[in-house]
Amino acid sequence: MADQPSGSLKPITPARVAEELRKLSGLRASANIKPDEYEHRFSRMISELRDRRIDGTRAEILATLTPLLQEGVVSAEDWRRLTRQLGLA
């Protein structure tokens, strides 16, 4: 795996990104992880998404992820950070 070029990794579906964000935010809301652990996992997720990319158009990605903001699953601050760092904003 280490000798594979980074461009050969399969893109991640928007639904998978939403699922992971729900899990991570759920851990945060239930206080099952400390704030610094949440920050570490959130940052790592963004880095991995940059490396692997999200499959789909900008509109498709945002249509899948926007409900997370609207439902309060992801904070407005984390939403801005996610969309900005992934080039969706």
The H helix count followed by the E strand count for the chain is 4, 0
Asked whether residue 2 is domain-assigned, the answer is: no
Asked whether residue 1 is domain-assigned, the answer is: no
Q: What is residue 9's predicted lDDT score, i.e. its pLDDT?
A: 80
Asked whether residue 32 is domain-assigned, the answer is: yes
Domain ranges, residue 57: 10-85
The distance in angstroms from the start CA to the end CA of the chain is: 32
Please list the residues that pair with 12 across neighbouring strands.
Answer: 54
Asked whether residue 3 is domain-assigned, the answer is: no
Is the per-residue pLDDT at 32 higher than 70? yes
Across residues 10-27, what is the average pLDDT?
93
Is the per-residue pLDDT at 7 higher than 60? no
pLDDT confidence tier of residue 6, bands split at 50, 70 and 90: low
Tell me the per-residue pLDDT of 37-87, one tens digit each, with 9 for 90 and over. Answer: 999 999 999 999 988 889 999 999 999 999 999 999 999 999 999 999 999
Structural domains counted in the chain: 1
* Residue 55 tokens, joined: 């499959």
